Amino acid sequence: MSYRNLIKIALRALNQNKFRGILTMLGIIIGVASVITMLAIGQGSKASIREQIQSMGSNMVMIHPGQGMFGGVAQNQSNMQSLKLKDYNSIVAQSSYIAYATPMVNAGGQAIYGSNNTPTTLNGSNEQYLNIRRYEIENGQMFSEYDIKTAAKVCVIGKTVVNNLFTNGEDPVGKIIRFNKIPFKVIGVLKSKGYNSMGQDQDDIVLAPYTTVQKRILAITYINEIMLSTVSEEVSNLAIAEVKEILRQNHKLADGEDDDFDVRSLEELSSMLSKTTDILTILLACIAGISLLVGGIGIMNIMYVSVTERTREIGLRMSIGAKGKHILLQFLIEAVIISITGGIIGMLLGISFSYLVKLVVGWPIYIQLYSVVLSFMVCTVTGIFFGWYPAKKAAQLDPIEAIRYE
């Protein structure tokens, strides 16, 4: 018997029980659609996190003072004074993997303009901070190397600070704001970057020359942080190892002695968040995959019913020459047709639901080809796996006993 005839017989049998076939497909349809939608949401979240981290500077390396002891009391990083300008200059001079670098000093306080004020942080840096953090000047200009050398009282502010201080819509450039009673001339406004993946407002920022913050605000000679940008993400680990070696030499740390500084990169954060979203995506896909399992059990159940209902038909066909393998293939083809048809409908619904989630809820989605192909392959294998046993049972029926079956 040809495969074409077997397929025709299978289609004719399914056509005689359309409603039952549709209900059987439903489990497969829901399972496939759920898997595709859940994977799209999970991968979309992962892509969104990586995109936001890249906007912060994914090849950024941050150096902070390490925790230490002073007078027998453990001190946190903010109180340590182990980073000096000498360290920054050594890294710039000796490192071969650094594209941009800036010393950082930070001071919290109140920014004031007229009768308006807002709490914010004054970030002292050099002009390369914009390249490291991927900020752009929207209006005005960035402070210069000359401003840094002279500790000029100038600043560049973000959109949130502009909105909070300049409520009448006036141009901030050229205006004088005060930070902790010290006047600063606004010489530039940054383009808006919005919130990052950790919920921090990237526009709530005031930039000033680090020398100005050191001398006029904090009255210190050390620095709070060194911020670097490597030439590429691929060399971040090499850059970190090189920076550690330079700092250990500067700080005269002996072999086996703990570092008195801490070096981290955003690539570590990106990797950690990616692993977390991958775990959640797999969990969501497994939960959705249960629907596929239920759908497969539904196929097996219906095929058992079909075998029982058509026992006499099977006996008659075997008595006139049909072989066991033909009976097995007929019922197996029916199961595969149900699963493949359900899989195709499920894929279309899954893609549609994914875009509906993006449109209605606003969640980021990313449909990968592998998730669609994998879902289709799984539903096909499900049809074969759960359809095999009932089909095998039909093929093993005794023709005489099958004809006598009531």
Q: Tens place of pLDDT for every residue, the chain, 406 residues?
A: 566 776 776 777 677 777 777 887 888 888 888 888 888 888 887 777 767 666 666 588 889 887 654 444 445 555 567 899 999 999 999 988 999 999 999 999 999 999 999 999 999 999 999 999 889 999 999 999 999 999 999 999 999 999 999 998 899 999 999 998 899 999 999 999 887 666 678 899 999 999 999 999 999 989 999 999 988 877 888 898 999 999 999 998 888 888 888 888 776 666 666 777 777 777 777 776 777 777 777 777 777 777 777 677 777 777 777 777 777 777 788 888 888 888 889 889 989 988 998 888 878 888 878 778 877 787 778 777 777 777 777 777 776 665 665 5
pLDDT value at position 73?
44
What 392-396 contacts at long range (C-beta under 8 Å, 24+ apart), as own/partner pairs, is 392/328, 393/304, 393/307, 394/307, 394/310, 394/314, 394/327, 394/328, 394/330, 394/331, 395/324, 395/325, 395/327, 395/328, 395/331, 396/324
- Let me know: does 38 contact 362? Beta carbons within 8 Å: no
**Alpha-carbon gap, residue 38 to 43, rounded angstroms:** 9
pLDDT value at position 198?
63
pLDDT value at position 71?
47
Bridge partners (DSSP) listed for residue 195: 201
pLDDT value at position 246?
93
- Domain locations in the chain as residue ranges: 3-52+272-404, 83-259
**Alpha-carbon gap, residue 154 to 163, rounded angstroms:** 19
pLDDT value at position 72?
45
Host H or E run for residue 91: helix 85-94
Task: Give this prediction's pTM.
Answer: 0.63
Give the dihedral of Cα atoms 373, 375, 378, 383; nearest 10 deg: -110
Host H or E run for residue 268: helix 266-309
Q: Among residues 3, 31, 10, 1, which one has the least CA distance to residue 306?
A: 10
**Residue 110 is encoded by which pair of tokens?**
């109140």
CA distances from 316 to 149, 277, 343 (A): 100, 57, 33
DSSP 8-state assignment for residue 77: G
pLDDT value at position 254?
86
- Let me know: does 390 contact 331? Beta carbons within 8 Å: yes
Alpha helices in 112-228 (DSSP H): 129-133, 145-149, 159-165, 210-212
- The residue type found at 361 is V
pLDDT value at position 340?
85
Q: Among residues 212, 141, 145, which one has the least CA distance to residue 180?
A: 212
pLDDT value at position 225?
93
**Alpha-carbon gap, residue 51 to 265, rounded angstroms:** 16
